[in-house]
């Protein structure tokens, strides 16, 4: 076979030599064996030869002109690499490659975005000679032909005067794709007057494109600039956002630009507000002129307006320091679920610290909020916070301690100052100081000793924080065990909760306190019971002695306790028919969180959970996608080989929720060849970009196919999608003799292929079907 192809190549090279020796234009380069060889290789049936030749010719620029005819031929090549390099070579030849224009325009109808784009760019490289043919193409019946023609015209800025009238006409095309390409081309051509006129276009996408385009034109003609303001209230948020930036960039008086920015900051749409803030930053030092206008908005009764003003002020960073007192007042009005104003102050940074500390003394302000903001500012706030711990104001001392407690890591310089608070008469300050010291990397021995004494403090708030801090830092684990087991029986629920949380963080210690933790499952306080269950679950097999009580807690009146108990049983991993039945009984709980936890723990039971199959299948139709996903996993784990599992999951592959479809495909892949019945459905998912990756993974894991998949696979052999073709060939080979009806098409494709790799894959499938 190789010798035949070698002879064919030699004949082709010889033919090229004769042809070009006989032509008048060939004499200057026919002596160049490299050029002759590249032309011959570009016409070869061997893909690698065509790729190499196209690559070399693309590097030559105008010197590739002798290969023009061969390059034109390759504008229909099926291989992307050959095609792209050939088109690149034509583009680099420039106007002398004008004979290639028709062949390149023929690619304007390609289904491949990259081919259309590169063909348009290459035609534009031919210069003005391409304009008449591009103008004709704008009248084509094909939408993609018209759209790509307008795209190409946009790459001819040197011929702007000639092409702008053609491109402007494209804005009136019936197809939105064409209109949008024409709008983008007007932008590239810098046609300011035409862009401004297009701001009145009925298509909001066109208006948005041209509005963004006006931002890039500098300077704007005065008559265009003066018209921009009339479009700043466009119905489209995209247009309004672009108009704000265009107006900020325009040569307008500073106050006028600031007015446009402030209006943009107050816009209902985030996109416009973000654009306004970007415009504000572009003003640099002049941005401070907007502070007074923004501060005025902080007084609004509308939280959305206050948040928008704070967002803009925060974007100014330290420049907005003069606004801090007003921002802090607005902080007092901030709703619990909103942190916009807190974020704004923290972004101002250290410059905000003096105002925050001053505000703490005001009883009208929420000191916990100012403390949280101080912590957000980070290391720059440490020194002033430490100084504030010595203040005469109890509010300021508490606020400073809270700020330090919320730091990710407490600096050593703050420990002694906080320890002084252990002796304060204020319960709150003693508790906050004990909590703050706990965030230190290491606690000095003398401070740890003081903390131990606080573990017996009359205040339950202080005891809870001190016990937790000591438990995490005391190196004497025996003493810690005694401390925590005693604390589990404390009269105050907050202390009992704190002790259980500490045990949850200390696996070794908790392992010796299983009985005490289990007893806490019967506590009168629901939060204590929940923490006890969570702590046992965190112990894994070590907590197995608590499983009977955990099963009882699955019936708790509090939903959070039921969830924690079910979750703990699954994490501990004790498997029995009785526990599986108990978990099954929770599948129909009225609260979806309980059902979800039961599914997850039942899945850990494996085949022991098989009797729950019907209940699990019912939850695959649950209204909440996270429950459906968990039910899918559970079903595969408890009934991995059942036909009903595959059948049910095939249906779920059509779920409206992408995450649910993904989970179904992944679990079918986990089933391996037992899920062979799902291959047709999984194969069809390859055509959906969102599902393609997970479908490929599942098909590889299943690694099998049967006769039921053959019709879909034969159809896939003729797909334009490379993945669909590849998996059709691969899976038909897996089907074997039952895929005999695919043989004619496989052989045809093999014989027509110009790729060794593809021919080999077709042949492998054929051999498996013919059992060779």
Host H or E run for residue 210: helix 204-215
Separation of alpha carbons 331 and 300, rounded Å: 13
CATH number at residue 721: 1.25.10
Least confident of 195-199, 405-409, 503-507: 405-409
404 and 495: one domain?
no
Assign 285 a pLDDT band (cuts: 50, 70, 90). very high
Average pLDDT of 548-577? 96
Q: Is residue 678 part of a domain?
A: no
pLDDT over 50 (residue 733) = yes
Q: Is residue 275 part of a domain?
A: no
* Residue of higher predicted confidence among 690 and 525: 525
pLDDT in tens, 653-665: 999 999 999 999 9
Q: Is residue 423 part of a domain?
A: no
pLDDT in tens, 630-640: 999 999 999 99
Q: Is 639 helix (H, G, I), strand (E, B) or coil?
A: coil
Assign 275 a pLDDT band (cuts: 50, 70, 90). very high
Q: pTM of the predicted model, to two decimals?
A: 0.66
Average pLDDT of 139-145? 94
Query: CB burial class (10 A; 0-12, 13-18, 19+) of residue 525?
Result: middle
511 and 404: one domain?
no
Q: Is 677 helix (H, G, I), strand (E, B) or coil?
A: helix
Please tell me the predicted confidence (pLDDT) of residue 31: 64
Q: Is residue 41 part of a domain?
A: yes
Tell me which residue of 557, 564, 601 sits closest to 579, measured CA to CA: 601
Assign 4 a pLDDT band (cuts: 50, 70, 90). very low
**Number of domains forming the structure of the chain:** 4
pLDDT in tens, 673-730: 999 999 999 999 998 888 999 999 999 999 999 999 999 999 999 988 888 999 999 9
pLDDT over 70 (residue 497) = yes
Least confident of 233-242, 352-361, 486-495: 352-361
Assign 319 a pLDDT band (cuts: 50, 70, 90). very high
Query: CB burial class (10 A; 0-12, 13-18, 19+) of residue 526?
Result: middle
Calculate the alpha carbon distances from 5 to 73, 484, 490 in Å: 20, 84, 90
Separation of alpha carbons 428 and 415, rounded Å: 17
Domain extent, residue 767, equals 705-772
399 and 292: one domain?
yes
pLDDT in tens, 15-71: 444 444 444 444 355 568 899 999 999 999 999 999 999 999 999 999 999 999 999
293 and 386: one domain?
yes
DSSP 221: P
Query: Of 408, 430, 452, at which residue does a domain stop?
Result: 408
Q: Is residue 212 part of a domain?
A: no
pLDDT in tens, 736-747: 999 999 999 999
Assign 365 a pLDDT band (cuts: 50, 70, 90). low
Q: Which two tokens mark 565?
A: 């108990």
Please tell me the predicted confidence (pLDDT) of residue 364: 67
401 and 510: one domain?
no
Q: Which residues contact 158 (CB under 8 A, 6 or more apart)?
A: 127
CATH number at residue 102: 1.25.10.10
Assign 223 a pLDDT band (cuts: 50, 70, 90). confident
Assign 111 a pLDDT band (cuts: 50, 70, 90). confident
Query: Of 520, 555, 574, at which residue does a domain stop?
Result: 574
Average pLDDT of 569-582? 94
Please tell me the predicted confidence (pLDDT) of residue 20: 44
Query: Of 100, 125, 150, at which residue does a domain stop?
Result: 125
Mean pLDDT of the chain: 91
Q: What percent of the chain has pLDDT over 90?
A: 77
Q: CB 123: neighbour CB atoms within 10 A?
A: 35
pLDDT over 90 (residue 361) = no
Q: Is residue 608 part of a domain?
A: no
* Residue of higher predicted confidence among 374 and 420: 420
Q: Is residue 400 part of a domain?
A: yes
Separation of alpha carbons 584 and 566, rounded Å: 11
Q: Is residue 764 part of a domain?
A: yes
pLDDT over 90 (residue 293) = yes
Separation of alpha carbons 254 and 256, rounded Å: 5
20 and 106: one domain?
yes
């Amino acid at each position: 076979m190789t010798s035949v192809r070698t002879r064919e190549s030699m004949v082709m090279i010889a033919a090229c030599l004769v042809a070009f020796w006989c032509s008048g234009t060939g004499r200057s380069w026919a002596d160049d064996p490299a050029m002759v060889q590249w032309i011959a290789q570009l016409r070869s049936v061997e893909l690698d030869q065509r790729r190499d030749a196209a690559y070399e010719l693309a590097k030559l620029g105008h010197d590739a002109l002798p290969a023009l005819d061969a390059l034109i031929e390759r504008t229909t090549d099926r291989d992307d690499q050959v095609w792209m390099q050939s088109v690149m070579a034509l583009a680099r030849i420039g106007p002398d490659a004008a004979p290639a224009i028709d062949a390149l325009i023929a690619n304007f109808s390609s289904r491949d975005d990259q081919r259309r784009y590169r063909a348009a760019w290459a035609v534009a490289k031919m210069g003005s000679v391409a304009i008449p043919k591009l103008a004709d193409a704008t009248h084509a019946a094909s939408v993609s032909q018209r759209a790509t023609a307008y795209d190409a015209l946009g790459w001819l800025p040197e011929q702007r005067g000639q092409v702008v009238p053609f491109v402007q006409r494209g804005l009136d095309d019936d197809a939105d794709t064409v209109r949008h390409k024409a709008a983008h081309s007007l932008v590239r051509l810098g046609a300011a007057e035409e862009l401004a006129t297009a701001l009145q276009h009925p298509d909001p996408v066109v208006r948005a494109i041209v509005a963004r385009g006006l931002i890039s034109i500098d300077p704007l003609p005065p008559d265009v600039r003066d018209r921009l303001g009339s479009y700043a209230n466009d119905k489209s948020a995209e247009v309004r956002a672009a108009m704000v930036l265009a107006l900020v960039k325009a040569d307008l008086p500073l106050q006028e630009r600031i007015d446009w920015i402030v209006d943009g900051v107050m816009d209902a749409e985030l996109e416009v507000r973000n654009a306004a803030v970007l415009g504000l930053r572009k003003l640099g030092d002049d941005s401070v002129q907007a502070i007074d206008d923004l501060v005025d908005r902080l007084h609004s009764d509308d939280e959305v307006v206050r948040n928008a003003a704070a967002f803009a002020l925060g974007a100014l960073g330290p420049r907005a320091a003069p606004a801090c007192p007003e921002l802090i007042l607005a902080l007092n009005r901030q709703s619990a679920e909103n942190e916009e104003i807190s974020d704004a102050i923290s972004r101002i940074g250290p410059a905000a610290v003096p105002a925050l500390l001053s505000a703490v003394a005001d009883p009208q302000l929420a000191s916990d909020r100012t403390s949280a903001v101080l912590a957000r500012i980070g290391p720059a706030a440490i020194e002033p916070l430490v100084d504030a711990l010595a203040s005469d104001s109890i509010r300021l001392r508490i606020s400073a301690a809270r700020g330090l407690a919320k730091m990710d890591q407490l600096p050593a310089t703050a420990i002694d100052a906080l320890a002084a608070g252990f002796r304060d008469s204020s319960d709150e300050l003693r508790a906050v100081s004990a909590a703050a010291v706990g965030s230190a990397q290491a606690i000095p021995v003398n401070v740890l000793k003081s903390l131990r004494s606080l573990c017996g403090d009359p205040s339950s708030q202080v005891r809870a924080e001190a016990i937790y801090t000591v438990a995490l830092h005391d190196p004497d684990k025996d003493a810690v065990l005694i401390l925590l087991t005693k604390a589990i029986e404390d009269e105050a629920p907050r202390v009992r909760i704190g002790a259980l949380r500490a045990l949850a963080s200390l696996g070794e210690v908790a392992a010796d306190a299983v009985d005490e933790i289990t007893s806490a499952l019967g506590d009168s306080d629901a939060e204590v019971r929940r923490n006890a269950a969570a702590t046992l679950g965190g112990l894994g097999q070590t907590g197995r002695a608590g499983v009977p009580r955990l099963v009882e807690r699955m019936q708790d009146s509090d939903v959070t306790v039921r969830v924690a108990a079910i979750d703990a049983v699954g994490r501990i991993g004790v498997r029995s028919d009785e526990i599986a039945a108990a978990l099954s009984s929770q599948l129909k709980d009225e609260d979806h969180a309980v059902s979800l936890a039961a599914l997850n723990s039942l899945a850990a039971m494996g085949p022991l959970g098989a009797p729950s199959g019907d209940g699990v299948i019912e939850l695959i139709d649950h209204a909440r996608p996270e429950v459906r996903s968990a039910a899918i996993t559970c079903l595969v784990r408890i009934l991995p080989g059942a036909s009903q599992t595959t059948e049910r999951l095939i249906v779920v592959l059509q779920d409206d929720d992408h995450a649910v479809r993904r989970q179904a495909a992944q679990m079918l892949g986990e089933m391996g060849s037992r899920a062979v019945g799902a291959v047709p459905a999984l194969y069809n998912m390859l055509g959906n970009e969102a599902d393609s990756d997970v479908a490929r993974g599942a098909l590889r894991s299943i690694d099998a196919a049967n006769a039921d998949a053959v019709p879909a696979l034969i159809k896939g052999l003729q797909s334009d999608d490379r993945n669909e073709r590849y998996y059709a060939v691969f899976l038909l080979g897996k089907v074997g003799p039952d895929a005999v009806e695919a043989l004619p098409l496989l052989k045809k494709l093999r014989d027509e292929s110009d790729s060794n790799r593809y021919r080999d894959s077709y042949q492998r499938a054929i051999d498996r079907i013919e059992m060779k």
